[in-house]
Amino acid sequence: MSTSPDATTRARQVTVSAEEAGQRIDNFLVRHLKGVPKSHIYRILRRGEVRVNSGRIQARYKLNAGDSVRIPPLRTGVDSSPPVGESAGHRLEPAILLETDRYLVLNKPSGMAVHGGSGLSHGVIEALRAARPDAPYLELAHRLDRETSGCLVLAKRRSFLRHFQQQLRAGQVSKHYLALLCGAWGGGRQAVDVSLRKHQLQGGERMVRVDADGKQALSVFSTVATFTGATLVDVELGTGRTHQIRVHAAHLGHPVAGDEKYGERVANQAMRMLGLRRMFLHARLLEFTDPASDDRVSVSAPLDDALGAVLERLESS
């Protein structure tokens, strides 16, 4: 969008397409009101200025195909420079590993959250939406931790999102990660079937702990390479719990290198001496069934240069 500062939009009626159906009205407005802060979007929803089929709705309202949405006139307050999210979205385009008319798979960079919130103005989904203002539908199909890099699927059609998430629930999506564990782990191949529970700490920090009364979680660790003081492993997920690999690795006594939350301070300091500036956890391979063709799709994401350099230093040490 290129307008003068404090430009005012006109009221307009937008008909919800079949691909846009099922999403919440607040997310719908974010895409149709580029440059308008989310706080202002929630304000006009509370005031009843946004109408669906001539009636007032709440921010959690889910749209139906054919709904008529009245978007009120707004003062956008944007200038001719692209929003931060839009520029970030353009930088993400070269990281797309595979794209069809139904989905795309991105090699998500470490340090970028999958979505905004908790003090972040934008994440992957907001950035790509800003870079693709004409895209009728774009949603996260699953999630990765902010510091985790690698394969991330985004749905371009609601029908694909529904099928992909059904495959996730049925355990039909194969997810493999590369993780560098601290210490010489001699497990070879080991399945860790240990239940996990989320805990909210004082101050709002979220932690996940091993808890017999928690949710079942399964991770299969297999040795890829051994080094002095570290082990590179492949981890296949049988479930997709929050922080699952990180907590299971710590439970084994060999936390993920560079993990500030569940890791070991001394081991992390040693890894920083080798140039590790982030957590060494990478979603390297993702396999799922394309519901349109029934073909099995396999996508792999290469390690970034920084992690590759750490492995080279370990090999030569």
Listed residue (47, 10, 60, 62) closest to 32, CA to CA: 10
Q: 134 falls in which pLDDT band (50, 70, 90)? A: confident
71, 95, 116: which is the final residue of a domain? 71
SS3 labels along the chain: CCCCCCCECCCEEEECCCCCCCCEHHHHHHHHCCCCCHHHHHHHHHCCCCEECCEECCCCCECCCCCEEEECCCECCCCCCCCHHHHHHHHHHHHEEEECCCEEEEEECCCCCCCCECCECCCHHHHHHHHCCCCCCCEECCCCCCCCEEEEEEECCHHHHHHHHHHHHCCCCEEEEEEEEECCCCCCEEEEECCEEEEECCCCCEEEEECCCCECCEEEEEEEEEECCEEEEEEEECCCCCCHHHHHHHHCCCCECCCCCCCCHHHHHHHHHCCCCCCCEEEEEEEEECCCCCCEEEEECCCCHHHHHHHHHHHHC
- Active-site annotation holder among 67, 101, 145, 304: 145
Q: Can you give the residue range of the structural domain that contains 38?
A: 12-71
pLDDT of residue 87: 75
Are 127 and 200 members of one domain? no
Greater model confidence, 67 or 119 = 67
Are 91 and 48 members of one domain? no
CA dihedral 284, 244, 138, 154 (to 10 degrees): 20
Greater model confidence, 130 or 208 = 208
Listed residue (77, 76, 67, 78) closest to 13, CA to CA: 67
Are 311 and 198 members of one domain? yes
57-67 tens-digit pLDDT: 988 899 998 99
Greater model confidence, 278 or 8 = 278
Structure-token pair, residue 95? 């990281």
CB 207 within 8 A of CB 281: no
For β-strands 55-56 and 51-52, DSSP reports them as antiparallel
Are 156 and 177 members of one domain? no
- Report pTM: 0.76
Are 222 and 177 members of one domain? yes
How does the average pLDDT of the chain come out, rounded?
88
Q: For the domain that residue 43 is a member of, what is the CATH number? A: 3.10.290.10
**Per mean pLDDT, which range of 10-14, 50-54, 177-181 is the poorest?**
10-14
In degrees rounded to 5, what are phi and psi of residue 132? -125, 70
Mean pLDDT value of segment 45-60 = 90
Say whether 234 is catalytic.
no
Are 208 and 291 members of one domain? yes
Kindly tell me if the per-residue pLDDT of 118 is higher than 60: no
Q: For the domain that residue 121 is a member of, what is the CATH number? A: 3.30.2350.10
Mean pLDDT value of segment 126-137 = 86
What's the domain count of the chain?
3
Are 129 and 205 members of one domain? no
Mean pLDDT value of segment 234-246 = 95
Are 62 and 117 members of one domain? no
CB 263 within 8 A of CB 181: no
- Give me the amino acid identity at 153: V
Q: 89 falls in which pLDDT band (50, 70, 90)? A: confident
Are 152 and 96 members of one domain? yes
121, 136, 161: which is the final residue of a domain? 161
Are 110 and 151 members of one domain? yes
